Structure 1
Amino acid sequence: MSIVFSPSLRCQLPVLLALLQGIFVAIFIMFVTYEDHSIRSPFHNLTEEKEDHLTAIFPSFKDVHLMLFVGLGLMLSFLKLYSFGGIAFNFLIANFAIQWSLIVQGFFYHYKEGKISLRLENVLDAEFAAVTALISAGAVMGRTSPVQLLLFSALEIPLFVVNDWLVNKYFHVIDIGGTIAIHIFSCYFGLGVAQILYQPELRKTHPKEATNSNSDFLSFLGTIFLWIFWPTFNSVLAKTEAARLHAIINTFFALSSGTITTFALSSLIDRRGRISLVYLQNASLAGGVAIGIIADLISPGGAFAVGCLAALSCILGYQYLSPFLARKIKMQDQCGIHNLHGIPGIIGTLSSIVVILIGPTNTYSTSLHEMLNDSNLGIQSPVLEVFGNQNTWTAKDQALGQAAAFGVTFGVSLLGGYITGLLLRLPCFVHPSKDYFFDDQLYFQIPEDNKNKSTTNEKLHQHLLTSLKHI
């Protein structure tokens, strides 16, 4: 059956893209200029780099670039009839979100004397912000139109920037890899939107919500890309070479131990001892999410333990928690972002509190107080006014700051997701038909061989479901 392209989508998508790009071009012409001298990153954590040189930033920029456009894109191609949508819409959102982040972060952090100062570091910061939009979109992937996804990202990016400023300025969160600022925020923002966009028809499996060997292979390949480059993601904001070295090694240890745990537990859960590709595609990365917040602080043994615990929690989340949440609170999480980003993010936050409280005094008490009042930061830490004063700053105060940063991020992201979901439900925006959820044919010119193959696979799937009902 041929697909009739929606006239509203034919109008809305090109017009929206042209309008947004025109506005961005005008803003860049009027306000954006290059700056040659060093400026401070908006991600002003305690582990910020002390100096930004092109030779130091560009390799990290390339690694993060590969994670966004190759790793995440391939990982989202796991649905057999929506593999083009997973890759292509990831490509679209990433480009839009980076441009929009450059503008929002530029006016928020780098606007002075009527201009936004631009360096490669700014683009890297924008890519970190874009990650939040890509992760969040996974919760509603295949059930939203590209128009909705663009509006989704347009609303999320400013909220992310404001939340990042809050948790850094008022709580000076220790979060070198963005476990709270990126993973927790993106997870619960996406889940908030998904809950508002709940579809009762999807309480049971949609006929097109299935994978095949090719789509699973591409998705697993994306996982490996992310796995390889995750140490860069967790270490690029390190302040010193020693901190960067620790972050790289500890991230590798967490990822490696998490992968071994995934193979073991996946085989244990299955009655025939088979390994689940869904678990491999997700749980093998959970250690990278959890360790990010303390990648430069924890010991090697601790990194191994965090990786194992994160992978374990991710698998158990898929096995038990996701069905429970879908049944009890109507939360349809298409890509399982709660299992990969939410639960490991919570484990990472708790681990950071433990590490800070039991860490040696010269690491988490005196030196922490000195860093918070370092003149190089250019600010007097407001968190000292909340939890203590300059003479009584302790590890306990920082642990409270970590918990407060998590609470603020959770509340801001979930509330923002609910509001965004309500806006996306407005009838003026394109809403894909339920018959064409998880289907590339609505949006892409599909080669004839793929159309025939997709139709055949769909018929076989329907026949299998019919047969099972009769058994």
Structure 2
Amino acid sequence: MSSKYPRSVRRCLPLWALTLEAALILLFYFFTHYDASLEDQKGLVASYQVGQDLTVMAALGLGFLTSNFRRHSWSSVAFNLFMLALGVQWAILLDGFLSQFPPGKVVITLFSIRLATMSAMSVLISAGAVLGKVNLAQLVVMVLVEVTALGTLRMVISNIFNTDYHMNLRHFYVFAAYFGLTVAWCLPKPLPKGTEDNDQRATIPSLSAMLGALFLWMFWPSVNSALLRSPIQRKNAMFNTYYALAVSVVTAISGSSLAHPQRKISMTYVHSAVLAGGVAVGTSCHLIPSPWLAMVLGLVAGLISIGGAKCLPVCCNRVLGIHHISVMHSIFSLLGLLGEITYIVLLVLHTVWNGNGMIGFQVLLSIGELSLAIVIALTSGLLTGLLLNLKIWKAPHVAKYFDDQVFWKFPHLAVGF
């Protein structure tokens, strides 16, 4: 028997989403305009290509990476695209309003679109912990709150610590991971007895999820270098990210086989570990002076990711009461912290080599930024989780988790679906 179509999607979502979109259109009409300056044609094309890479990563990479839910693949891909489209619009407006004082018209450039795309990507990372357990109306709330929280974090860090765009967003891996984990912790706890089989069938890895991982692997150097201004820093970021990702692939295949009692390769571990190097070097990719350091980071990150994919779900199930953890969280939560630690170590070494005596001050600033990012992520994630639990959203029943039939019209019900 097909699942009952929830009232939240049938009644609330169309009015809620279209009203919000109309409000965004009005805001764009009154408060935005395009950059009228003449840019170099080659620079414009190069800037557009970077933005295109980010869009491919967000729409195809993160979208298909979460499609390993056997009965929730349609919703995973489509809902990710929905969140990306909404998040980019809100992020452009928010970044423009927060970055200028006194407030005025927001100037839209290709760089601002890149910045907005990366802000929206944080929502897609966080949503990996809740997809299958929420409906579109709840995801709209999550997009608005998380993009606002991340924009506020960037503004606070920029004003207090006086950092540039790249440094403002270097915490977005950690922010997105812990925001998503907090939201998932607030949602209804593990599935009731009798529905565990549905949950198991929902998490079978698929070829489409591996396709998403491949898209992310190919374009990850772009996301790590997207906001860097200096050509030398961009070059270092792209090279170091590529070397780290290459080592992560070797570590993923061999480490996955090593972790299995019968020395077989697990696709779930491969999903996680092939991307580990890109996350680990994301914060410090422009500071790494030699490729061998990036390769060592890729090796360590791959091993940590495999260990996290093996142990983290059990810990979260029993200790935190979160019944499903996406592979993205075994990547971003652990390896984001590894990247932050690496950045602090490299910053200390760079300060020593340059003869600067303010090592302690630089370390305290970095620790303060990281702590602030985690605190805001946990606080805003808790607020979002409480909002999503309101009955007004008519959330799917726990027995209907990870079920496309709740949201989609099928021409017929396939046998065994």
TM range (shorter): over 0.9
Residue of structure 1 in register with 2:296 after alignment: 305
> Structure 1: how far apart are the matches of 2:176 and 2:38?
29
Counterpart CA distance in 1 for 2:203 and 2:131 is 20
Aligned to 1:4, what secondary structure does the other structure show? coil
Equivalent pair of 2:126/2:181 in contact (CA under 8 Å): yes
Contact map agreement 1:83 1:440 (CA 8 A) in 2: yes
Give the direction of change, closer, same or farther, for the CA distance of 1:173–1:309 in structure 2 (3 Å limit): farther
Displacement, 1:174?
8.2
Which amino acid in structure 2 is aligned with residue 6 of structure 1? P
Normalised by the length of structure 1, the TM-score is 0.82
Counterpart of 1:127 in structure 2 is 117
Kindly report which structure 2 residues correspond to 1:190-201, keeping only aligned pairs within 5 A, or say none.
190-201=180-191
CA RMSD of aligned residues (A): 2.5
1:94-125 alpha-carbon deviations (Å, 9 max, x no partner): 00111111111121125767311111211111
**1:163–1:88 Cα change, 3 Å:** same
Code of the residue aligned with 1:308 in structure 2: it is: L
Q: Give the 5 Å matches for 1:213-224.
A: 216-224=206-214
Residue 32 of structure 1 corresponds to 32
Aligned-pair CA distance for 1:92 = 0.5
Q: CA deviation at 1:181?
A: 2.3
Deviations 1:189-228 (CA, angstroms, capped at 9, x unpaired)? 1111111114232699733334699961000011000000
Equivalent AA in structure 2 for residue 10 of structure 1: R
Q: 1:312 Cα shift?
A: 1.1
Give me the whole-angstrom Cα distance separating, in 2, the residues matched to 1:146 and 1:114.
Answer: 32
How far did residue 5 of structure 1 move? 2.0
1:347 — aligned with what? 338
Give the match for residue 421 of structure 1. 385
Change (3 A) 1:79 1:105: same
Equivalent-residue separation in structure 2 for 1:177 and 1:138 (angstroms): 25
For 1:314 and 1:203, the matched residues in 2 are separated by 30
The residue type equivalent to 2:392 in the other structure is C
The question of whether the paired residues in 1 share the 8 Å contact of 2:195 and 2:399 is answered with no
Gaps of 5+ in 1: 40-51, 367-391, 458-471
Residues 245 and 440 (structure 1 numbering): CA distance in 2 closer, same or farther, change over 3 Å?
same
Calculate percent identity across the aligned residue pairs. 29
Aligned residue number for residue 409 of structure 1: 373
The unaligned stretches of length 5 or more in structure 2 are none
SS state at 1:67 partner: helix
1:13 is matched with: 13
The structure having more radius of gyration, on CA atoms, is 1
Q: Is the 8 A contact 1:131 1:182 kept in 2?
A: no
- Deviations 1:26-68 (Å, cap 9, x if unpaired)? 11111111122499xxxxxxxxxxxx94223111011001001
1:452 is matched with 414
C-alpha distance in structure 2 between counterparts of 1:325 and 1:215, whole Å: 19
User: 1:25 Cα deviation (Å)?
Assistant: 0.9
**Deviation for aligned residue 1:422:** 0.7
Tell me how far 1:396 sits from its aligned partner: 3.3
Task: Give the secondary structure class of the aligned counterpart of 1:14.
Answer: helix
Secondary structure at the aligned position of 1:117 is classed as strand
TM-score when scaled to structure 2?
Answer: 0.93
* Aligned length, in residue pairs: 415
Residues 127-161 of structure 1 deviation map (CA, whole Å, 9 limit, x = unaligned): 01001111111111100111111111111111100
Contact 2:190 2:323 in 1 (8 A): no
Describe how 1:343-382 pairs up with structure 2 within 5 A.
Answer: 343-359=334-350, 361=352
* Aligned equivalent of 2:313: 322
Shift of 1:318: 1.8
Q: 2:45: which partner in 1?
A: 55
Q: Which amino acid aligns with 2:276?
A: A
> Are the equivalent residues in 2 in contact too, given 1:244–1:296 (CA < 8 A)?
yes
Q: How far apart, in 2, do the equivalents of 1:345 and 1:93 lie? A: 22
State how far apart, in whole Å, the 2-side matches of 1:196 and 1:413 are.
14
Amino acid at match of 2:216: L
Residue among 45, 67, 71 paired with 2:57: 67
- Three-state SS of the structure 1 residue aligned to 2:283 is helix
